[in-house]
Chain A
Amino acid sequence: MGSIPLVWFVGLVAWSGSPAVGELLPAERAIETVVDHYVDAGLVAAGTHPAPETEDASMVRRLTLDLLGRIPTASEVRAFTESTDPEKRPKLVDRLIGSVGFARHQADTLDAMLMSGFRSSLREYLVSSCRDNRPWDTVFRELMAATESGPGQKGVSEFLKARGKDPDKLTTDVSSIFFGVNVSCAKCHDHPLVDDWKQDHYYGMKSFLERTYVVGNFVGEHGYGRTKFKTTDGEEKKARFLFLTGREVEVGGAEEPSGDDKKAEKQKIDEAKKKNEAPPSPEVSARARLVETALEPANRDFFARAIVNRFWHRFYGQGLVMPLDQMHSENPPSHPELLQWLARDLIEHGYDLRRLTRGLVLSHAYARESRAESENPDPRLFGVAAPRPLTPLQLSLSMSVATASPETFADPDDQAKVENLANSSRGLASAIARPGEDYQIGAAEALFMSNGTKLNELLGDGDDRLVGRIAKQRDHRAQVELAVRNVLSRSPDPDEIALLGEFLAHREDRPVEAARQLVWALLASGEFRFNH
């Protein structure tokens, strides 16, 4: 590995996770007004005008995609755009957050974050924890405990099971996901200007996790074991149990047990495995000590800031700190006070992710148009909304919603039909690549959309399908309106009525095919592919 990346870890020495900031806005202010206060201050300082607020149809689409993981139905769009209630946006947000689709989508989003790169999934556990709105610190504690027997814990051990055989991967993932710090760079390098503490940090985190093992269907933990490592000078060192802030913890089990004790332990583990039971737990769990330490008032900023930054990235298309796993003092946030205020708010309100979500999507900054007036707006200013590619699940469910006959969703209070689609569209999602931080859409997706057979059903021409309904409309204008409303969640403008009408008129000898091609072109368009 090169030596350059080490520079990033210089900042970790005795760093609490929070850069020095001035006095924060009062804690009792509403989240959305604090967001706007700090974002606006940044825009003023840069001399930049923000984009205006986006139109109603675009607002309801953005919110429904962000909170329910799908586009709104045409009737949902109409209900919102026609409402004259000045409070309609907060009311919509509250209704969406209270609906069953919110827990589903929140679970899918967290699953993608926690299980990226693995075939297994935490969905079963996450759906249950998101339905209860379990606080984020509770979720962390439960994932680290990995005890499946308690209520609402089924599937919770998948996080550790997927990584239990690779302590380095486990160390890297726990640090990156929960604390926003990728410590793996400190694994094997040294920097000429910095002492060995960097490796101490990596192996300090690894100490808490290396006692973990996987046996059969269970995650176990030894009550002993000291992580060892070699310094770059070749010196063999025993790691200390060290959290990222430099806090050292006594865990016990420093002495290796005798051979007989180990044999006895192995026997117990084997017996448990035969009975398909959990292996015996240690007296002191190093993982539990990690959780306690990470949530101590002096250390918990890492934990709170990491999830705030990840949620900000989710709703604003760009983290307050980028990359998301490089939260350290050499890589300051775009809005340090804002990040600090949001982290404090999250802690003071019991790590309530719904509250955080609600606040983030109610700001003016969230509601801006995604079209910029200037050529190259600085994305770190949040003066214009970022077009964000839909996740595979958002895209596949949205395609299912868009191509169903609008009659399917005539009753906006009946969410069951949409939720059924959420299940049936998962297969389609597996054909689409997951977006990462710097996502690019590949030719495979375009080929899949252009020539694949999996869309055939969605583009069917029965009465229950959009294509079938379009083909039955009395004129091209009505056809275009129906298609654009259902796929793009807005009314067509006059240019589009003319152009798309012409496209249809050119195909009057094959009206069903014409409708199918029109719907395909809308589904494959950039406007549909992105949340904007």
Chain B
Amino acid sequence: MATQRDNFCGSTDHSLSRRGFLGTLAAGSAAFAADMGGLNVLRSPVLAAELKKQSKRVILLWLAGASSQLETWDPKPGTSTGGPFRSIPTNVPGINISELMPKMARRMDRTAIIRSLNTKNGDHGGAARLMMRGRMGDPSLNYPDMGAVIAKELGRGQSPVPDYVSFYAPTEGRDFAPGASGFLGSRFSPIELTTNLVPENIRRPESITELDHTERAELRELLTRRFERGRASTALSSHNEAYQRVKGLMASDTLFDVTKEPQKVRDAYGPTQFGEQALVARRLVEAGVPFVRVARAWWDSHGQNFETHQELVPELDHVMSTLLDDLEQRGLLENTLVVTLAEFGRTPQINASLGRDHFASAWSATLSGCGVKGGTVFGKTDEKGQKVIDGEIGAAELFATIYQAVGINHEKDYMVGSRPVPLTETGTEPVRAVLA
């Protein structure tokens, strides 16, 4: 009988699995625990250090609706376009930012500001896709977004954790640029969270015991391995890989649970949705998730721009600075790039409703942490912020800079069928001035 068992799937590799589902509860749990190494790695200081050294990650703070550069990173106080807020000095001499960001002002040395984006697209949908993909749409090419590219480049093949997680709770702009893995395939699709802090289908239903759930999966795998013999295709192997990730993803359930954090840490981030999601993002990157997007919306201030920004910018200031502090204290900042980005900026011209409209010709984004020379400003807008007068760049250059910062060659080609598609358009140069 034992011989027959070993022959069942033609390989002794699965004897452990077989023992799992035919064995005792203890044996099943042992097999389960063995697979959890990827998560347990954090409990081993040596391994954790190694992981930190090797794996780079990105957190994207996505300001949906489009924040104003004038009330954040590129203030123009005392001009006709400047609005009511002052600018304040930062801990880097010569760099001033809006007074609405006093906490970031004290941490300016970790962040590089790019003040010279001219991205030419002022439509929410088109611009959101442009700033998530780094290029304009091409009807023939279903291009992956930044998250999917980074998941592919920085994720580990057999990773037990998700490799692209996207929090998008607010409805504003959610449909404009949903996480898109494009031609990279659904292997790199994000786990998207819109209503809950915890992903869909990640928890075992109560109707089945943990042991049965595990053993049923083992039986599935045995049957599939047997079927796969002599058959080869990428689709077939992706099917098994998808199921192999289930256990790890389910175990990463706790990563999404903010109650596992000490109260002190939760208090630091604050009780807001944005704060909690940023905290989960930190938990995720700490466990090796290469890309997390946290969207904060309602920036589209066509009316009452200053009230809106008076409310939203201090929250951004608080969450972003807490996140940077937390990452630094854990030794994660040197390998984690934090990108703060919107689909475009807002007009210097203040409209009749005291609002600012869509403006893609001269706006700002920031990069902090991994691979970035903190305390730098790149590019310059004119006196009233109406156009870029120095260092103009578009989305492609920003993306090349992001890729370079985390060690990805931005000139790399993906093959789409027989067609080579470069990560950023040919001839794109990263902004070397902000790279460490």
Contact = CB atoms under 8 A, between A and B. Distances in A.
Given A5-B419, A387-B235, A520-B216, A506 B22 contact: yes
B205 interface: yes
Given A169-B139, A441-B239, A376 B232 contact: yes
A176 B142 CA distance: 14
Given A446-B243, A447-B246, A506-B22, A440 B417 contact: no
A438 interface: yes
Interface string A368-386: 0011110010000000001
B4 A498 contact: yes
B51 to A, nearest CB: 21
Interface in A409-465: 433, 435-448, 450-453, 456
A1 interface: yes
Interface residues of B, number: 66
B202 interface: yes
A301 interface: no
Interface in B227-243: 227-236, 238-240, 242-243
Nearest to A374: B230
Interface stretch (A87-95, A121-129, A321-329, A470-478): A321-329
A412 B380 CA distance: 75
A527 B239 contact: no
B245 A446 contact: yes
Tell which of A323, A389, A446, A518 has the most Cβ of chain B within 10 Å.
A446
A240 interface: no
B187 interface: yes
Interface in B114-167: 138-140, 142, 162
Contact of B216 (A440, A517, A527): A517
Contacts of A524: 220, 243
Contacts of B212: 507, 513, 517
A137 to B, nearest CB: 25
A176 B162 contact: no
Contact of A172 (B140, B203, B215, B426): B140
A525 B230 contact: no
A440 B235 contact: yes
A386 B233 contact: yes
Contacts of A371: 229-231
A372 B230 contact: yes
Interface in B1-57: 4-5, 7-8, 21-22
A111 interface: no
Interface string A1-29: 11111001000000000000000000000
Given A169-B139, A450-B201, A526-B239, 8 more contacts: A5-B419, A8-B419, A172-B140, A441-B238, A446-B243, A450-B246, A500-B219, A517-B219
Interface of B: 4-5, 7-8, 21-22, 138-140, 142, 162, 181, 183, 185-189, 191, 199-205, 207-208, 212-213, 215-217, 219-220, 222-224, 227-236, 238-240, 242-243, 245-246, 249-250, 416-422, 425-426
16 contacts: A2-B422, A376-B232, A387-B235, A389-B239, A438-B185, A441-B187, A445-B242, A446-B242, A450-B246, A451-B202, A499-B222, A502-B22, A506-B21, A521-B219, A527-B227, A532-B227
